[in-house]
C-alpha cells in the first residue's frame, strides 16, 4: 500500500490532536459524568411527581439525593398489629401502615423533638387538608423576623410547615399533641430535627391520608433496634443551622421553661408535668 508523505503528516496531526479532543470532552465532563450516572427509578420519580390538582398545586419533590429506603414501598411486616394500624418507628425513621397477609406500606419520616418525646398508642381523631400552622411563643422569641408575622396562624400553602395534610392524634378525647403531617423541608426526611412531630414527604402524607379513617389506631415506638445506619445531616443544612443558632441562640434554660404551650393546629411541646422531656408517656 502506498501512503504519501502528505498523508503521513495528516495522520500524525490527527494522532497528536486526539488527546486534546478527549481532554476537551473531559473538561466539560462533570456534566457528561452526571448525565451518565443513574438517577432515581422512574417509578419513584412518578410517585413523587407534581400534583397540579391539589388546592395549592404541589411541585415534584426532588428525590435525587434521597436514600431509596425512605421511598414509599410495600414491605414484609412481622409485628402483630392488626391491619389498618399506623406504626411509627421513630428510631429507624419509618412509618408503617399495616396491611393484610404480613405486609405493610412503609414511608420514610423525619422526627422532631415532640415526636421523640411521645410513646404509646393513640387514635386519629381529626384529619385536616391544608391545615393552618401557628408558631409557639418560644419560636417567635427565637426567630421574630421569621415567625412573629404568623402569631395569628400561617394560612395553608406550599410554605406552611404542616404541608398539605395533617393527622391529629388523641387518647380518648384528650389531645396528645402528636401530629403526623407533611413538610416544606423534604431534606429532613430520615433525620431527627429540632421541631415538629412526624413529618413525611408531601406526596406520602397525601397517600397516607387517603388510606386511613378517623379512629385509626396509631402505635408510636421508641428505641427500636436499628435496622440501618442512621442518616446524617447534609453538610449544607448543618452549616446553615449552625449559622442560625449562632445568630439567635436559645436561652440556657431548663427544657420545661423553653417549651411553650402548643397551638391548636401544631404542637412543639408543653411545660414539663411528667417525664424527662415534658410529655406524659402514653401506655401501650
Of 2, 25, 78, 197, catalytic: 197
78 is catalytic: no
Of 2, 25, 78, 181, catalytic: 181
Query: Closest Cα to residue 265, out of 158, 171, 150?
Result: 150
Q: How many angstroms separate the Cα of 187 from the Cα of each of 114, 154, 167?
A: 19, 21, 21
Rounded Cα gap, residues 200 and 165, in angstroms: 10
2 is catalytic: no
Mind telling me the catalytic residues? 181, 197
Amino acid at each position: 500500500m502506498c501512503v504519501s508523505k502528505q498523508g503521513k503528516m495528516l495522520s500524525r496531526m490527527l494522532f497528536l490532536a486526539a488527546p486534546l479532543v478527549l481532554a476537551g470532552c473531559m473538561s466539560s465532563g462533570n456534566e457528561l459524568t452526571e448525565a451518565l450516572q443513574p438517577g432515581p427509578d422512574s417509578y419513584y420519580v412518578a410517585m413523587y411527581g407534581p400534583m397540579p390538582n391539589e388546592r395549592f398545586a404541589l411541585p415534584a419533590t426532588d428525590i435525587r439525593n434521597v436514600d431509596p429506603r425512605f421511598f414509599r414501598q410495600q414491605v414484609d411486616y412481622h409485628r402483630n398489629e392488626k391491619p389498618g394500624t399506623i406504626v411509627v418507628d421513630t428510631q429507624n425513621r419509618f412509618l408503617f401502615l399495616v396491611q393484610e397477609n404480613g405486609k405493610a406500606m412503609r414511608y420514610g419520616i423525619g422526627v422532631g423533638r415532640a415526636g421523640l418525646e411521645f410513646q404509646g398508642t393513640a387514635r386519629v381523631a381529626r384529619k385536616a387538608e391544608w391545615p393552618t400552622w401557628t408558631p409557639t411563643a418560644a419560636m417567635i422569641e427565637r426567630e421574630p423576623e421569621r415567625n412573629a408575622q404568623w402569631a395569628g396562624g400561617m394560612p395553608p400553602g406550599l410554605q406552611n410547615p404542616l404541608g398539605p395534610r395533617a393527622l391529629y392524634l388523641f387518647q380518648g378525647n384528650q389531645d396528645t399533641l402528636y401530629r403526623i403531617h407533611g413538610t416544606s423541608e423534604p431534606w429532613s426526611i430520615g433525620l431527627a430535627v429540632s421541631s415538629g412531630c412526624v413529618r413525611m414527604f408531601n406526596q406520602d402524607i397525601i397517600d397516607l391520608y387517603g388510606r386511613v379513617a378517623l379512629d385509626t389506631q396509631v402505635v408510636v415506638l421508641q428505641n427500636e433496634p436499628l435496622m440501618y445506619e442512621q442518616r446524617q445531616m447534609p453538610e449544607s443544612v448543618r452549616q446553615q443551622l449552625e449559622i442560625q443558632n449562632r445568630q439567635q441562640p436559645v436561652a440556657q434554660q431548663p427544657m420545661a421553661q423553653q417549651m411553650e404551650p402548643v397551638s391548636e393546629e401544631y404542637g412543639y411541646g408543653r411545660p414539663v408535668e411528667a417525664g424527662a422531656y415534658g410529655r406524659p408517656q402514653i401506655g401501650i
